[in-house]
Amino acid sequence: MTRSRNSAGTRPDSGSVSARNLSTLVRISVLVAASMALFLFESLIPAPLPWLKPGLANLGTVVTLYLFGARAAMLVAFLRSVLSALVLGTFLNPVFLFSLCGGMAAAAIMGLVKHRWSGVFSAIGISVLGAYAHNLTQLLLASLLFVNKIQALYLMPVMLVSALFSGSLVGIFAHYLVNIAREILPNGSMAPRVSH
């Protein structure tokens, strides 16, 4: 679509504008693919409890948030959940609902906090907030969907304490990844100059 509009463009500089859009599109696609890879890798690790996962997929969301902003982070979280569910065969079942709502809530909270209190938290704090948003959303869903609310509550302390550690770990990874990406990419997150 971008290409056809590009070739049909009337303004002479429209080519470089869409090259920039295209470059952003490609980078966000790579981040979706990377999040998916982490998510699928994580689903292969045997866990002591079905819901106790390190939440590595959130790494893709945090990196996207820092490089491309909140809207792109929401998009990456959404696409990662849908596409991973299609690969795993869990599309539209309760597992998918948990993954989608958790991922989207995490992206929304992280985007909001980073926008409102810019500079108060580093990637580590943002990532921990995302991990908590993810887990609390899933607990809320569990208590809404399941009949026995008490049993969902038993998971809460375990989930919250593990979210603290996994969130910090993901935040540390994200901090270094964002730094590396900003060194490699000219103008931070912006598309590189395109020479034809």
Partner 1 sequence: MRFGELFAVTTAGDRILLLFLLVVSSFSIFWINGLTAAGHSAEIVGAAGTRFDRLLSESGEFAVPGPLGVTRIRIEKGALQVVHSDCPAKVCERQGQISRVGQVIVCVPNRVVVSIQGGQSNKFDAITE
- Interacting residues with partner 1 (CB under 8 A): 117, 119-122, 124-125, 128-129, 132, 148, 150-151, 153-154, 156-157, 160-161, 163-164, 168, 172, 175
Determine contact, residues 141/98, Cβ cutoff 8 Å: yes
* Residue number with CB closer to partner 1 (28 or 136): 136
The sign of the CA dihedral 13, 190, 40, 134 is negative
Question: Angle 170-172-177 (CA atoms, 0-180°, nearest 5)?
Answer: 90
Give the CA distances from residue 48 to residues 52, 161, 164, 177, in Å, rounded to whole numbers and listed in that order: 7, 15, 18, 29
| Distance between first and last Cα of the chain | 20
Tell me how far, at minimum, the Cβ of 16 lies from partner 1, in Å. 36
* Residue number with CB closer to partner 1 (89 or 157): 157
* Residue number with CB closer to partner 1 (2 or 122): 122
Q: Residue 109 corresponds to which amino acid?
A: I
* Residue number with CB closer to partner 1 (145 or 164): 164
Tell me how far, at minimum, the Cβ of 42 lies from partner 1, in Å. 22
